[in-house]
Structure 1
Amino acid sequence: MKKIAVVLAGNGVYDGAEIHEATLTMLSIARNGAQYQCFAPDIIQTHVVNHVTGEEMPEIRNVMVEAARIARGNIKPLNEYNAADFDAIIFPGGFGVAKNFCSYAFDGVDCVVIPEAENAIRNTVDAGKPIGALCIAPVLVAKILGDVNVTVGEDDADANAIENFGGIHVKSTHGEIVVDEKYKLVSSPCYMLDATIDQIADGAENVVVKILEMI
């Protein structure tokens, strides 16, 4: 049975992993006959956002502890990820990707990527195994790898950032995927567009199915 690593940036769209994208990715993996293991960096998240008001809260939370809520406790530190043990890796989106995995949300093209995220992506590429990236995650991958073909939907600012990193941005709509054959990278816009949960399910499913075909 194929085994896919799912990397979570916390718990909640505004400061962590996007829960619909994460959950529907795991569902798609299971329904297509594969297994998943969740990972997250064992670090303090950048900040905590009240998901009712959108305001920052005076709290300190850990990315892996928060992500464990989605993983139902079955989660491992991202620095323990070994590409040799998995057939592919997928990064759901959420602002945590741009806040906890890197500083893109604050520093734009001058952002810095945490070592755990960069090592996971580079090691997967070196192993010749597929990578999935949903929502804002293609920006993270472009920052690390440079010359990638990816999509974040129709957002010009993030498309410009991808091209600044050396990549090529391909516009897309709901459920569509863009495949980079060189890096075995599959991306889909998901909530970078004004989407419904069933459209997110389509995007996650199409990414997972394509990745399984590439394994």
Structure 2
Amino acid sequence: MHKKVAVILSGCGVYDGAEIHESVITLLRLDQRGAQVQCFAPNVPQLHVVDHYSGDEMDQQRNVLVEAARIARGNIKDVRELHVGEFDALIMPGGFGVAKNLSDFAISGVHCQVQADVQAAVQAFAKAGKPVGLICIAPALTAKLFGPGVTCTIGNDHDTAAAIAQMGAVHQECPVDEIVEDSTHKLVSTPAYMLAQSISQAAAGINKLVDRVLELTQQ
């Protein structure tokens, strides 16, 4: 039986949305493993828009759901339509959109709040005991999503790891091609572009994360 996996995106583009390489690697690996995938994103404005060529902020307004639809080739739904009973697992790729659009971590740090619809969706999976995969910067939200004591990784960035610990989660250092698993919470995380110097390095850890998340759906 094919597993059904929800993927939450945060826009389109590393600096103001979902990291495109991480998102595509995730979707590719899920497809290679025979999973049925549905992408979701919150129907909210982006924090800001960044010119990915110059790195400068642009005087534009964009919508997270509309931008994320670029990655999903239009096959995407409002995260409010994400019902945990219809899926076996959930995965969230990284990109600054996680810290800017799915939360305000980029601005508020340890005092951040997760976007309400995203928080409700992820916590529903946690409450149901269904596996969740968090990639790149997404594990920075772990304590807000799973509560204190949960274990995760963003690699080895000292400042981000310290923030994770201050919020109540346990950070475990991890190389780019490995994963960290909290078996109690069925949570899997990997550093991806928090450490990766190439798309193949990012893929090494993401592929392991996807494989492990799918394995956990059997338990």
Between the aligned partners of 1:123 and 1:99, the Cα distance in structure 2 is: 22
Specify the SS of the correspondent of 1:186.
Answer: strand
1:68 aligned onto 2:69: yes
Q: CA deviation at 1:35?
A: 1.4
Q: Which amino acid aligns with 2:88?
A: D
Residue in structure 1 matched with residue 16 of structure 2 by the alignment? 15
User: For the aligned residues, what is the CA RMSD?
Assistant: 0.8
State the one-letter code of the partner of 2:7: V
Q: Distance in 1 between matches of 2:5 and 2:142?
A: 17
* SS at 2:134 equivalent: strand
1:135 to 2:132 alignment: no
Q: How many angstroms apart in 1 are the aligned matches of 2:213 and 2:196?
A: 25
Partner of 1:109: 110
1:73 deviation in Å? 0.2
Report the Cα offset of residue 194 of structure 1: 3.9
Structure 1 residues 102-111 or 139-148, which shifts more?
Answer: 139-148
Q: Quick one: distance in 2 between partners of 1:185 and 1:139?
A: 13
Runs of 4+ in 1 over 6 A off after TM superposition: none
Contact 1:121 1:141 (C-alpha < 8 Å) held by counterparts: no
Task: Return the offset for 1:28.
Answer: 0.4
CA distance in structure 2 between the partners assigned to 1:59 and 1:14 by the alignment: 14
- Is 2:161 aligned against 1:159? yes
1:100 has 2:81 as partner: no
Task: Kindly tell me the number of residue pairs found equivalent between the two proteins.
Answer: 215
Q: Distance in 2 between matches of 1:113 and 1:214?
A: 25
Q: What is the SS of the residue equivalent to 1:141? A: helix
Comparing 17-26 and 162-171, the one that deviates more:
162-171
The SS at the match of 1:21 is helix
Structure 1 position 192, deviation (Å): 0.4
Q: What does residue 47 of structure 1 align with?
A: 48
Work out the CA distance in 2 between the residues paired with 1:106 and 1:67. 22
Percent identical pairs in the alignment equals 51
Cα separation, 1, equivalents of 2:70 and 2:208? 25
- Match of residue 83 from structure 1: 84
Normalization by structure 1: what TM-score?
0.98
Q: Which runs of 5+ in 2 are unaligned?
A: none
Q: Deviations over 1:44-81 (max 9, x none)?
A: 01000000111110000000000000000000000111
SS of structure 2 residue aligned to 1:54: coil
Distance 1:131 1:125 in 2: 8
- SS of equivalent to 2:7: strand
Given residue 159 of structure 2, which amino acid in structure 1 is its aligned partner?
A: A
Residue by residue over 1:145-185, the C-alpha shift from the partner in whole angstroms, topping out at 9 and shown as x without a partner, is 23211000010111111111111111011111000011100
Structure 1 position 143, deviation (Å): 2.4
- Aligned partner of 1:27 in structure 2 is 28
Could you tell me how far apart the structure 1 residues matched to 2:152 and 2:54 are?
32
| CA contact 2:142–2:169 (8 Å) conserved in 1 | no
Residue of structure 2 equivalent to 1:181: 183
- Distance in 2 separating the partners of 1:201 and 1:193: 12
2:196/2:202 contact within 8 Å kept: no
For residues 5-44 of structure 1, give each alpha carbon's deviation from its aligned partner in whole angstroms, at most 9, with x where no partner exists.
Answer: 0100000000000000000000000101111110000000
The secondary structure found in structure 2 opposite 1:73 is: coil
